Structure 1
Amino acid sequence: MTPSRTARWTAAWLIAAAWAFSFPLVSSLGPHRLWGWCAGAGYLAAAGATACGRRRAALGAALTGAIAVPLLYLVLTGQGQSEVGVIERSGRLLLTSGRMYVDQPAGVEDYTPYLPGMALLGIPRALLEGAFGAGGDWAVRLLGDARIWCAAALFGGMWAGRRLLGGVRSPLLPLLVASPVVALPLAVSGVDLPLAGLCCLALAAAGSGRPGLSGAALAAACALKWTALPAVAVAVALLGVVRGARDAVRCAAVAALGTALLVLPGLLLQPAELWRQVFAFPTGRADVPTPASSPLPGHLLAGLGPWGWHLTVGLLAVGGLVVAASLVVRPPRTVVAAADRLALGLTLAFLLAPAGRFGYLALPVLLVAWARSTAGPGVSRVVARSGERVARPAGAPHPSGARRGSHDAP
């Protein structure tokens, strides 16, 4: 590593440490404060190791301080954001009653602002408690905690996506995992991680010309949170370029059918609660105000009164139409471009939503960084129609086994 690059990475770890150490000072949430102390120490150690030229030691210190220590402690002590308990409660309700929503919720803690697919991530805890009891056994907590399964969905999606694209092993991926973008939600909540992993897999499958797999991943994502819907449009647009209209339609059909199969039972059993808790509550239209109230533009506008709420919803719709039009006029031709377009759409949605959190913006950042980590140095990011050149390491033989001639695309 050159001296200038060493200085840049040392500075990056120091910035991450400063950001982590701010949590004990500004956050009122115990899990966030604990994460801040642990992660800050880990990032400081990473900065010191980087300055000494020990890159692997730096990564190990960051992963230990930002993920391993806080996650293990919070899981074993049963601490975390309320979302963890909400997912696990949904799993218990699904196993015992076939439903996942609390009828007539009285307080914030009774609401489940997720689609029925999220309950599947709470089933492991319910099964382990049924087998071994809910007496706080460490194995039940460690193996059943919803954060563990959310993390498994994230890492599984990112790994599978990279394999589909044939990307070389990139140092960016473990650095991305160690960064606050992944480490904080992984340790304290984990609720958005499965969505991110499935979106990565869906884009990779679309970019590699696998419409069925892309549609299945999109269906799983859309069954978790309705914010996954923009990913369907982006993946379909990418497939239209990679494989043509037929495979794009096939992907959309698989996504629609799969989503319906996963969501329809909950809709039929509890239509009023699904509407109240999944749509009205997150947008600030339920009887109980949502705690997602970061001072983002949409929330500030919605706080001005009924006209402000309608205005921000209108702006949100206009933003969605603009991004959709861009997919028609200039569809993405690479996985990186598709991830960027999806990140743009999600960023607009989170900024203009009537209620939101700054933490939601981690999802677009993760998508952009992951896409670039799958195409390391020397790997083409070009995707094309079936039979043409696709992403492969530089210098690798042409798929036909012959050298490219003058007629091949540059």
Structure 2
Amino acid sequence: MPPQSLLTAPAPPRTTTVPSRTVLDRLHGLTWLYWLGCAVFALLLALTTTLTPHRIWGLCAALGYAVAAGLARRAPRPWGRPATAAALAGAVVLPLLVLIAMGAAQSEVHVVESSGSLMLHSGSPYLPHPTDVGDYNPYLPGMALFGLPHALLGATPLADPRLWFAAVFLAAMLAAARCTAGTGERPERSADAALLLAAFPAVALPPAVGGVDLPVIGLMCLGLALAGRGGSGTAAGLAMGAAAALKWTAWPLLPVGLVLLAVTAGGRAAIRAAVVSTLIATMAVVPAALANPRAFVDHVVLFPLGRGAVRSPASSPLPGHLLATYVPGGHALALGALVVAALALGVSLVVRPPRTVPAAADRLALGLGLAMCLIPATRFGYLAYPLVLAVWFRRALIRRADCSETG
């Protein structure tokens, strides 16, 4: 029988676990500095760029971010809607409207418009004999669908591909948020997170000046979210296949998403998703490739790798480009490093498969980040892929920071 002293001893005092404050919460008082930093970046871009669309974006965005900084300085909540709305108005809506009215855009927009017309009239989105940079279409045939409104309606504002890029991106991101929503998560919180992410300069610049990567990123996030939810695998396969039909940069999603689906829903679901995604991508790519195989290879294989008859304008000073430009045999070295990185990603999926959506997104972000740095023809803008993937599925940080002020 236990000693009486133990029977009558008072219970230890209960301790209340205080949830750790998120980084965003701790930086509540510095929110205005974040927006001010964005304004400085946009203004510096406007002053230093030689591209007219980027200069217009920089001036408009600098104004929007400056207003957001002023609103955030006086706001009682860390990432309040008024500041985010001001940033979006200045960094996305205003420059997009101005550029559409001027008929100004990055060359990618005109490439997509031309590919839509070519697809409609010839069945292939690729010119058979490209002679200059603007004639090349480095995207897979699914991207031509965004050029069909222009081909059918002409040069009207609603036919501008940038509007459709942004619409697909936001719809896919919100659908991904719904798939990965936690218990009790309100839809408006996910919408706030999506808008805050859209206001970040690396994400706000593309829809205004070009935006061709946005639908790819959105569908990749949706494919991961559906794979993480489990199920039959059909929906995940559709999303992954749609992304793969747009651009080569989406193809690393397939092994990562299928491994995640195998972990969450089993091998049958993963096989079904693989079949569906392959079918979707094949239906989009094969007809155009067969229509003119040589043109297909020239446009979507040789040109992006920097081996086309015309040099790609994608030349940001990242390691792959620097190797290919300044080191003898550097092009082969860069491609070899790219292959090694792909193999390392594949091995990591076998040795340590991701078991959650954030883990899969991190693995994909790491792989894409390495690929973007090693591809000989690359742009800083491509880094939006790993950025969005790494941040979006951690949007709970934004919600908790916001909710901590509202109780």
Aligned equivalent of 2:352: 330
Deviations along 1:241-277, one digit per CA (max 9) or x if unpaired, are 1011111111111111211111111011011111111
CA contact (8 A) 1:150 1:194 kept: yes
Alpha-carbon distance in 2 for matches of 1:5, 1:308: 43
Instruction: Give 1:92 deviation, angstroms.
Output: 0.9
Q: Which residue of 2 aligns with 1:181?
A: 202
Counterpart pick for 2:219 among 198, 206, 224: 198
User: Counterpart in 2 of 1:404?
Assistant: none
Give 1:8 shift.
Answer: 2.2
CA contact (8 A) 1:6 1:53 kept: no
Which amino acid letter does the alignment assign opposite residue 224 of structure 2? L
Q: Which of 162, 173, 190 lines up with 1:147 in the alignment?
A: 162
Structure 2 counterpart SS, 1:233 = helix
C-alpha distance in 2 between matches for 1:376 and 1:251: 32
Following the alignment from structure 2 to structure 1, what is the Cα–Cα distance between the partners of residues 365 and 25?
33
Tell me which residue corresponds to 2:403. none
Counterpart residue identity of residue 190, structure 1: G
Range with greater deviation from structure 2 (82-91 or 173-182): 173-182
8 Å CA contact 1:114–1:225 kept in 2: the answer is yes
Whole-angstrom CA distance in 1 between matches of 2:83 and 2:320: 39
The counterpart of 2:322, out of the listed 290, 294, 300, is: 300
1:25 counterpart letter in structure 2: L
The match for 2:13 is none
- Quick check: 1:165–1:374 contact (8 Å CA) kept in 2? no
Counterpart of 1:221, as a letter, is: A
Q: Counterpart of 1:357?
A: 379
Instruction: Using the TM superposition, give the Cα deviation of residue 375 of structure 1 relative to its aligned residue in structure 2, in angstroms.
Output: 7.9
Residue correspondence of structure 1 range 257-406 to structure 2 within 5 A? 257-304=279-326, 307-373=329-395
Aligned 8 A contact 2:319 2:373 in 1 = yes
Q: Corresponding residue for 2:404?
A: none
CA deviation map 1:86-113 (0-9, x unaligned): 0011111111221211111010011001
Match of 2:230 among 185, 209, 231: 209
What is the letter of the counterpart of residue 180 of structure 2? L
- Alignment partner of 2:75 out of 48, 53, 65: 53
Separation in 2 of the partners of 1:225 and 1:315?
A: 21
CA contact (8 A) 1:176 1:182 kept: yes
C-alpha distance 206-375 of structure 1, shift in aligned 2 (>3 A): farther
Look at both structures and tell me which one has the larger radius of gyration over its CA atoms.
Answer: 2
Superposed CA deviations along residues 97-138 of structure 1, whole A, max 9, x for unmatched, are 212111110100110011100000100111112xxxx5xxxx
User: Does 1:160 pair with 2:172?
Assistant: no
CA contact (8 A) 1:6 1:51 kept: no
Q: Distance in 1 between matches of 2:297 and 2:313?
A: 18
Question: Secondary structure of the equivalent of 1:61?
Answer: helix
How far apart are residue 4 of structure 1 and its match?
Answer: 5.5
d(CA) in 2 for partners of 1:375 and 1:154? 21
| 2:264 aligned residue | 242
Q: 1:31 Cα shift?
A: 0.5
Provide closer, same or farther for how the CA distance between residues 66 and 350 of structure 1 changes in structure 2, counting only shifts above 3 A: same
Kept after mapping to 1: 8 A contact 2:162/2:211:
yes
Measured in 2, the distance between the counterparts of 1:373 and 1:75 equals: 31
User: Which residue matches 1:408?
Assistant: none
Q: Deviations for 1:213-235, whole angstroms, at most 9, x for unmatched residues?
A: 11111111111111111000110
- Provide the C-alpha distance between the structure 1 equivalents of 2:36 and 2:334, rounded to a whole number of angstroms: 37
Distance 1:99 1:345 in 2: 31
Using the TM superposition, give the Cα deviation of residue 373 of structure 1 relative to its aligned residue in structure 2, in angstroms. Answer: 2.0
Q: Give the equivalent residue in structure 2 for 1:62.
A: 87
Aligned-pair distance for 1:56? 2.4
Instruction: Give the distance between the partners of 1:156 and 1:173, measured in 2 at CA.
Output: 10
Which whole-Å CA distance do the structure 1 matches of 2:359 and 2:379 have between them?
A: 26
* Aligned pairs for 1:71-82 within 5 A: 71-82=96-107
Counterpart residue identity of residue 156, structure 1 = A
Q: What amino acid is aligned across from residue 220 of structure 1 in structure 2? A: A
Determine the structure 2 residue equivalent to 1:107: 132
Shift of 1:48: 0.8
What letter is aligned with 1:203?
L
What is the Cα deviation at residue 3 of structure 1? Answer: 9.5
Q: Distance in 1 between matches of 2:397 and 2:262?
A: 21
Query: Is residue 42 from structure 1 mapped to residue 57 from structure 2 by the alignment?
Result: no
TM-score (structure 1 length as normaliser)? 0.86
Determine if contact 1:230/1:342 at 8 Å carries over to the other structure.
yes
Do the aligned residues in 1 keep the contact of 2:223 with 2:239 (CA within 8 Å)? yes
> Partners in 1 of 2:204 and 2:302 — Cα distance?
30
| Distance change >3 Å, CA 56–CA 374, structure 1 → 2 | closer
Q: Say if 2:258 and 2:274, in contact at 8 Å, map to a contact too.
A: yes
- Please state whether the residue corresponding to 1:22 is helix, strand or coil: helix
TM-score by length of 2: 0.87
Question: Aligned pair count?
Answer: 368
Gaps of 5+ in 2: 1-20, 401-407
Q: Report the AA paired with residue 77 of structure 1.
A: M
3-state DSSP class of the match of 1:162? helix
- Read off the aligned partner of 1:276 and give its amino acid letter: D
Code of the aligned partner of 1:186 = P
